[in-house]
Amino acid sequence: MAAPRLSLGPLKEPLGLMRALQWFFSIFAFATCGGFEGSVTYRVTCEGRENHTVTATFGYPFRLNHAVFQPSLTHLCNHTWPKDVHLVGDFSSAARFFVGVAVAAFLYSLGALGGYLGYLQVYRCAGSRLPLMDLVASGLVAALWLVASSAWAQALGHVRAAAGAPLPHCPSPTASCARTALTAMGGLGASVAFGFLNLVLWAGGSWFVYKETPLHRPAPPPGPTPAPM
């Protein structure tokens, strides 16, 4: 294996710069989605009794049907609720897929950038298959970003609707249930935006990888033929 020749020169070229941007913005994608924690709070007023506040906490991976309101509603309003009340919906598939793609993109862009910085002479040598492999991988990651971002954008709409829905099984006039607090989900909206930004970066970066492949670079012309004697 060839010895590495560390050089920061690739960072000044579109090939290396795009990898650095892909690495940087993939961090924001999985951090804004995977690091989210929120809650929804309701004030429950029972007829002729004091008010109570119940809260359900939720976050990544957004299995809302596991988020239980606390303290238990079964003890309120003369046992109006026969069992614990959960939020509705399981959106873990889309959320985990999105974060998984972000982590994979982070690792690949970091590895590819390290390869450019240390082994660019091997990457660009005649007959190297590395650019073609890099192109296939880049196109695959771009496609995954498209699918993951679209799926997560749709799931996020359902998360917002489920978290903002009225408290289930709140009978009137026996009890009244008013939502008093709901964590803002602007960070989750930003995760969708970062997802589509990463899609643009990977699709655009694929063009610069393509320019390194034999598909774009013409084969070197044959050497001069010797003159007949």
What is the pTM (predicted TM-score) of this model?
A: 0.88
Task: Report the pLDDT value the prediction gives residue 2, as an integer from 0 to 100.
Answer: 66
Evaluate whether 11 touches 166 at the Cβ level (below 8 Å): no
Residues 6+ away with beta carbon under 8 Å from 135: 206, 209, 210, 212, 213, 215
Q: pLDDT at position 214, please?
A: 83
pLDDT tens-digit profile of 158-204?
A: 999 999 998 877 876 778 889 999 999 999 999 999 999 999 999 99
Q: Is the pLDDT of residue 45 over 60?
A: yes
Cis preceding-peptide flag for 71 (omega within 30 of 0): yes
Any idea where the domains of the chain sit in the sequence? 36-210
User: pLDDT value at position 155?
Assistant: 97
From the list 203, 206, 209, 197, the residue with the least C-alpha distance to 102 is: 197
Confidence of residue 57 (pLDDT cuts 50, 70, 90): very high
Higher confidence at residue 217 or residue 40?
Answer: 40
Cβ atoms 19, 205 nearer than 8 A = yes
Terminal-residue alpha carbon distance, the chain: 44
What is the three-state SS of 99-140? HHHHHHHHHHHHHHHHHHHHHHHHHCCCCCCHHHHHHHHHHH
Q: What is the pLDDT of residues 114-166, one digit of tens each?
A: 999 988 888 888 778 999 999 999 999 999 999 999 999 999 999 999 999 98
Lowest mean pLDDT among 16-20, 28-32, 179-183, 210-214: 210-214
Average the pLDDT over 71-100 and give the result.
90
